[in-house]
Structure 1
Amino acid sequence: MIVDVLVIALLVAGTAFFVAGTVGLLRFPDLPTRLHAVAKADNLGLGLIVIALIVDEIAREAASGTGIALKLLLVWALALVGTAANSHLLAGHARVHDTDPERAADATDAADVRKDEAP
């Protein structure tokens, strides 16, 4: 009973961070703040959901729960690395092309359009 309440609370908190990250992505004006919102909120949200799944798995099946817990932690670690790499690439692209931070998201879309229009 207590484990179920803990798991549900962790899942709800993780989902709330995902929603906050998505709202930040849609509402913030420039690329750096959008990257910050997505990177921080989504990684924390995923971490809380992974912890909830680990607690649930260990509470239900103590014998095989360790292997699944390690796999879930590996998924979380890979997501952390992927988010960091993605943020670095997007910020580097905006810096190399001397894009104004307030228009960085629009400039990446415009660069893709220009590539399509080139002869």
Structure 2
Amino acid sequence: MMDVGPFEILISALLVIGGVFALVGSWGLARMPSLMTRLHGPTKVTTLGVGSLLVASMIFFPAIQGTYSAHELLITLFLFLTAPISANMIAKAHLHRQGRHIDPNPMDDIAEGLPDTGLGTGWATFQGLDTDQLNIPR
């Protein structure tokens, strides 16, 4: 019988957790009703899944193989830095493409466009924006 050490258990757990997160994130991307809710799948859940897989790789190679590489660490840092920024840019592009009338989302009870901010100033992303000059199709 083969002895299973703590590193193998930790690596196996991280691989299973990463696979589950990636599966749930991909399923959310395919099944969510609107673009704004679809952003949560790849930017939050799948990022955690891929991050877990990369952490498992960072543990495996030094602990089991005896070699070290900084590639996994760099990929993880790059992933965790770029995923929220790209989600923000996609969301802003979607808001500006749709104007103030974004797609209806039954999960958030948004049927008539963006809700009022309650501050009397409107949404900050539309400050200084004149939609009549942008020639955006409605």
Q: What value does the CA root-mean-square deviation take over the aligned residues?
A: 1.8
Rounded to whole Å, the distance in 1 between the matches of 2:103 and 2:73 is 34
**Which AA in structure 2 matches 1:82?**
T
Structure 1 contact 39–84 (Cα < 8 Å) conserved: yes
Q: What residue number does 1:79 align with?
A: 79
SS in 1 for 2:33: coil
The residue aligned with 1:42 is 46
Q: Which amino acid in the other structure matches residue 57 of structure 1? A: F
Report the TM-score when normalising by structure 1: 0.73
Relative to total residues, which structure has the larger helix share, 1 or 2?
Answer: 1
Query: What amino acid does structure 2 have at the position aligned with 1:27?
Result: R
1:12 paired with 2:11, answer no
Between the two structures, name the one with larger relative contact order (CA 8 Å, sep ≥ 6): 1
Superposition misfits of 4+ residues, deviation over 3 angstroms = none
Q: Map of 1:57-68 to 2, 5 A cutoff? A: 57-62=61-66, 64-65=67-68, 68=69
Aligned residue type for 1:10: L
Shift of residue 46, structure 1, vs aligned partner: 1.3
CA contact (8 A) 1:31 1:102 kept: no
Structure 2: gaps spanning 5 or more residues:
106-138
Hey, what does 1:30 align to over in structure 2?
Answer: 34
Of 37-46 and 18-27, more deviation after overlay is shown by: 37-46
How far apart, CA to CA, are the structure 2 residues paired with 1:55 and 1:26?
32
